[in-house]
A and B are shown apart, each in its own frame.
Chain A
Amino acid sequence: MSRMGNRLLRLTALTTALGAGLAGLTAAEAATLKLMFQGDPYEVKVITETAKKFEAANPGTTIELINTPHDAYNEKVGAAVSANSLPDIMQLDAPFLANYVWSGFIQPIGPFIDKAVLDDMTASNVAQGTYPVDKQLYALGLTDSTVALYASRKQLTDLGVRIPTSVEDAWTKDEFEALLTKLSTTPGVKWPLDLFRSYGTKTEWITYAYEPVLESFGCDLIDRTTWKAEGTLDGDTCVEAAKLMQSWVQKGWVVPQSAGGNQFYAEGRPAALAWGGHWFYAEAHSQLGDDVVVVPLPKFGEKGASPNGTWIYAITKNASDPALAGKFLSFMLQDPDYRAAYREHAGFPGLKSFAADSPLYAQGGAMALAFEQASKSAVPRPPHPAYPTITLAFQKAMNNIFDGADAKDELSKAAKEIDADIEDNDGYPPFGGN
């Protein structure tokens, strides 16, 4: 037994040493560009390959990729800040940009990026990367995002419903409600509309996809000049918008949260319309083929509104060589293979040349109308450092409203929470004080 014990001990010592040895291997420090990002497997792959190409074209430069699943992205940023070890380039989710700029992590990116790339950006891409205080661009990417309505062309035609052909002639509130009403009595339709409640509150979905309804009604999550939520988010217009959506749920028109996100194309097509992200097209098309028609989000008031924003790249204040960082980003965003990978996965274009090159989004493409929204109706989520609180409060409120709570009460509670956070941070100067 004791001989076995010795062997056991030696084995433990050996494996520990092995572990420690492996841990000790660190990459060469010289001329290293650290890039922190998250991404789907194909993105990881193409970013890795692009980095290798850049290294080959720029001898002496090493790019260290820090692939961070987005589950714990903010936590890792926080930890990196505490340890003063922010990378040179970091990816961030657009609505969190203001928070990061205000906290002093990232710097204006314009001076370091090729002019050709900057000029190529869509209005929505510029908007998602711009900080409202100094109006400077802090981050950019190849892609952007949007939400559109998906329907079956055949079903709409059979019902004699007008199919919008541009963002300008999107369905009006009355048209949309009439359509939902009609669908609710159409045989075979279990739910007229899927709002993708199945995404839950774990993601950004509720704020991202439903805020446009508020915007289109003419209200907002927060007043974007005084940066106060009370009086805006709990104002009559927002309450009316929330109540309208609540009424859809209460009439049984909306796919419930626990029915999954596949009811638009699952067997029997239980859901007639889908209020889905641009990524939903690929899912729907794989099952329904070319019968899927994409129309812009409805106009509930004077103007239409649509969301935007995705994961974009910024250069941190820690960057030892921001020019080199900018050079890499310019290189990556123009790399044909990099673009091809995103095109293949239906990436929503944030650069005009990429859009022209993407059959899906280009003129005549199935998603052309969705892309048109980016230049005509996209509204970024409130670019304010309190955004984490804003989105959480709004998501909770909307979920409760859908589940039957009083709209006015819930929105007031959310508005108070948001304002309390802003107060708690002395108004996030220079916000509000201007």
Chain B
Amino acid sequence: MTSISHPATLAPAPSRPVPRDWSRVIAVVAVSILALVVISPLFLLAVASLKPDRFQILADMGSFRAFWVSDPSLQNFRDVWTFSGALPFGRYLVNSLIILFVTVLGGVFLNSMAAFVLAWGRLPGRAVILTALIALYIVPQESIVLPLLTIVNRVGLSDSFTAQILPFMASPLYIFLIYQFFIQVPRDIYDAATVDGAGPFRIYWSVFLPISLPVLATVAILLGIETWNQYLWPLMVTQTDRARPISVGIASFFGHDSVYWNSAMAASVMMMIPVLIFYLAFQRWFVSSFISSAVKG
């Protein structure tokens, strides 16, 4: 166990080649088994989405037959996609993507900027602001949707993209998260930048952001998923298909008497794919030890 080039904590990394290969294989197998167990409930979703008969899905629920499909078909996916005009899923998808990208771009920017000032700025009352922000995170969304709806109606933003983007861009949660990372940045880095005569924005932009990719990626991912799965608010604020996101579109499959399980399951699977891609793209930003390499440099 001599040189570890990475903060490895669990996986064994012995130095001799032969056992390393074996231990790597064992590690992969072990982690694979764990991963399979963890995601096994999702097989039910995938399997159900391949059963075109909604009654059969119902009949199979509650037994292991829910995990088995004898004649898989992509019919549900085709049906959902071609719901001729009444439920334009293509439109919903585009709407969701617009909301996602604008919210995440703006959110990462605004929240990190605020977090920087709260962590390193000289404004008075920063501790109070931070505490107040965390306190506001306690407020459950269900308790503010109605007053919020009144506000949005009053300023004429009902049924708009803006009404689905602006309320969620800035978030106490992510300001707090980025703040917790920024305060770990060694003071030398900040001091070095101020000696160069940089103002707060310059320091934030060209010093702090580049060394904070993991946390920015985290915020982008978490905010992205949150935005993608928003349901109650877009349900309340959209009237027509103009700005309606896919999460609300899917709600139509949960009818007042019956649930269209085949369509609901297929649509749910389809809805997971873009956000999975989004996640995989951002998790590449988890590059080790930005702060430490900055310290060394």
Q: Which residues of A contact B (CB under 8 A)?
A: 1-2, 5, 8, 11-12, 15-16, 18-20, 22-25, 27, 38-41, 43-45, 48-49, 64-72, 75-76, 78-79, 82-83, 85, 93, 145, 259-262, 265-267, 277, 279, 282-283, 286-287, 310-311
Contacts and interface: CB of A to CB of B under 8 A. Distances in A.
B165 A41 contact: no
B193 interface: no
Contacts of A266: 59-63
A39 B102 contact: no
A67 B240 contact: yes
B153 A85 contact: yes
A279 B257 contact: yes
A12 B242 contact: no
Contacts of A283: 55, 58, 258
Of B62, B87, B149, B260, most buried by chain A (CB within 10 Å of CB) is B62
Nearest to B206: A1
A271 to B, nearest CB: 12
B243 interface: yes
A265 B56 CA distance: 10
Nearest to B207: A1
A287 B253 contact: no
B124 interface: no
A345 to B, nearest CB: 8
Contacts of B58: 261-262, 283
Given A1-B206, A15-B101, A67-B240, A83 B55 contact: no
B84 interface: yes
Contacts of B257: 40, 145, 277, 279
A69 B251 contact: yes
Nearest to A263: B62
Interface stretch (B25-33, B41-49, B180-188, B231-239): B231-239
A266 B109 CA distance: 53
Given A2-B205, A85-B153, A265-B59, A44 B87 contact: yes
B146 A79 contact: yes
B176 interface: no
5 contacts: A23-B162, A40-B252, A68-B239, A267-B63, A286-B55
A280 to B, nearest CB: 9
Contacts of A5: 205
Given A16-B165, A260-B61, A266-B60, 15 more contacts: A1-B205, A19-B160, A22-B160, A23-B242, A41-B86, A67-B240, A68-B235, A72-B232, A76-B236, A79-B236, A82-B153, A93-B256, A282-B55, A287-B59, A310-B256
B191 to A, nearest CB: 20
A79 B150 contact: yes
Contact of A69 (B145, B157, B162, B248): B248
A27 B59 CA distance: 44
Contact of B84 (A45, A145, A287): A45
A23 B243 contact: yes
A366 to B, nearest CB: 16
B78 interface: no
A68 to B, nearest CB: 8
Contacts of B106: 12, 16
A52 B248 CA distance: 23
A82 B154 CA distance: 10
Interface of B: 53, 55-56, 58-63, 65, 83-87, 98-99, 101-102, 105-106, 109, 145-146, 149-150, 153-154, 157-163, 165, 205-206, 209-210, 232, 235-236, 239-243, 248, 251-258, 260, 263
Contact of A82 (B61, B65, B150): B150
A287 B165 CA distance: 46
A82 to B, nearest CB: 6
Contacts of A66: 239-240
A282 B98 CA distance: 40
Contact of B161 (A23, A38, A277, A286): A23
A68 B248 CA distance: 9
Contacts of A68: 235, 239
Contacts of B160: 19-20, 22-24
A279 B106 CA distance: 46
Nearest to A348: B257
Contacts of A79: 146, 149-150, 153, 236
Of B65, B159, B235, most buried by chain A (CB within 10 Å of CB) is B235
Contacts of A1: 205-206, 209-210
B255 A40 contact: yes
A45 B87 contact: yes
Contacts of B149: 75, 79
9 smallest CB-CB distances across A and B, nearest first, come from A23-B160, A45-B86, A40-B255, A19-B161, A286-B55, A69-B251, A279-B257, A83-B153, A44-B86
